[in-house]
Amino acid sequence: MVRARARLERAGLRPYVLPLGVDLDAWLAKGATGWDGYPDTRCGKMDAETCGLAEALRHPNVTLQTGARVTGLRVGADNRTIAHVEYDQAGETRVLRPRIVAVACGAVQSAALLLRSGLANVSDQVGRCFMNHNASAMIAVDPRFINDAVYQKTFGLNDWYLSGGQDDRPLGNVQLLGRVTPEILKIQVPSLPRPVAGWMSRHALDFYLMSEDLPDPDSRVTLDGDRVRLHWRRSNMAAHRGLVTAMKGALRRAGFPLVLSRLFDGRVPSHQCGTARMGDDPARSVIDPEGRSWDHPNLFVTDAAALPTSAAVNPALTIAALSLRAADTIGRELAA
């Protein structure tokens, strides 16, 4: 990747080192391959399980209920405090009676749970403003370039993050993908011969381009009986098309004669967020800046549903920071 980065710099770009949640020693020791789009196999990829749950379960006062699905939250006599949590496990309906509840099911399922429970929605904002990054994959091919990277996803580009579009508007972020292997290429283009897919993978750089999806109240999660429905209306696509055009031009200046791109459609989750957004106005948001429901004092939302905007970068660190802040608040209240 050093040679690739140097080529981009000569083309006038300013690559930066990506912050990575990767234990490289553990990963290399197990001889793992790139798992950018694959589940972790305990080989060095930091995620909610390896960094959060595994550490929490070291404490004797933490219990993880597996094979369980929460079906509803119920309020007590004051119609505000969450009194119990109902969940199904092993064919039975069970109940927990916690002092504090933190919902972290992901942007779609957190909204669905709150809607199913009829809670936290005095503002009529639960489920609304669903956001999913406008994202494209891009492959730059040069027969003279040999991609022998063990782990490719190491640098990104913010050259067009704050400006570059029409009227100098922001366009978005670019970063390397994990290797687009011959198998991945074949899945995306079944008619591509396997030897051609192998050749392209060996001579290509693979990028992920993302632009902000703007909050829209009509992009939302709703319930249809037991079914969860997602109504997503793309926004800001002119900016994303501008980002694709700008990156293609830069790659050609860097000496890659063949540059291909494909827009991810609605079947590909691209950092889903919104739906229980935080804010400082109870009439226009679901939770306050600490993650607490405006309507229920012992209910917190601690996942991507809380994000009021999607920005144009991976949201994982922001979600972690917001969760840690909510955890500090919860810890103080439990101690009191």
Residue closest to 225 by CA, chosen among 115, 108, 106: 115
pLDDT computed for residue 303 by the predictor: 96
pTM: 0.90
- What average pLDDT score do residues 192-205 get? 92
pLDDT digits (tens, 9 = 90+) for 268-291: 788 999 999 999 999 999 999 999
Place 14 in a pLDDT band, splitting at 50, 70 and 90.
very high
- What average pLDDT score do residues 292-320 get? 95
- In angstroms, rounded to a whole number, what is the distance separating the alpha carbons of residues 299 and 292? 6
Secondary structure in 3-state letters for 10-21: HCCCCEEECCCC
Secondary structure in 3-state letters for 150-190: CCCCCEEECCCCCCCCHHHCCCCEEEECCCCCHHHHHHHCC
Sign of the dihedral through C-alpha 51, 57, 61, 65: positive
- In angstroms, rounded to a whole number, what is the distance separating the alpha carbons of residues 15 and 204? 18
Question: Which of 182-186, 201-205, 223-227 is the least confident region?
Answer: 182-186
Q: Residue 165 pLDDT more than 70?
A: no
Residue 271: phi, psi to the nearest 5? 65, 60
Coil, helix or strand for 221?
strand
Place 20 in a pLDDT band, splitting at 50, 70 and 90.
confident
Full DSSP string of 302-333: -SGGG-S--TTS--HHHHHHHHHHHHHHHHHH
Q: Residue 185 pLDDT more than 60?
A: yes
Q: Is 325 left (phi over 0), alpha (psi -120 to 50) or beta?
A: alpha
- What average pLDDT score do residues 137-166 get? 90
pLDDT digits (tens, 9 = 90+) for 81-116: 999 999 999 999 999 999 999 999 999 999 999 999
Give the contacts of 10 (CB within 8 A, at least 6 positions apart): 254
Q: Are strands 101-103 and 299-301 parallel, antiparallel or unpaired?
A: parallel
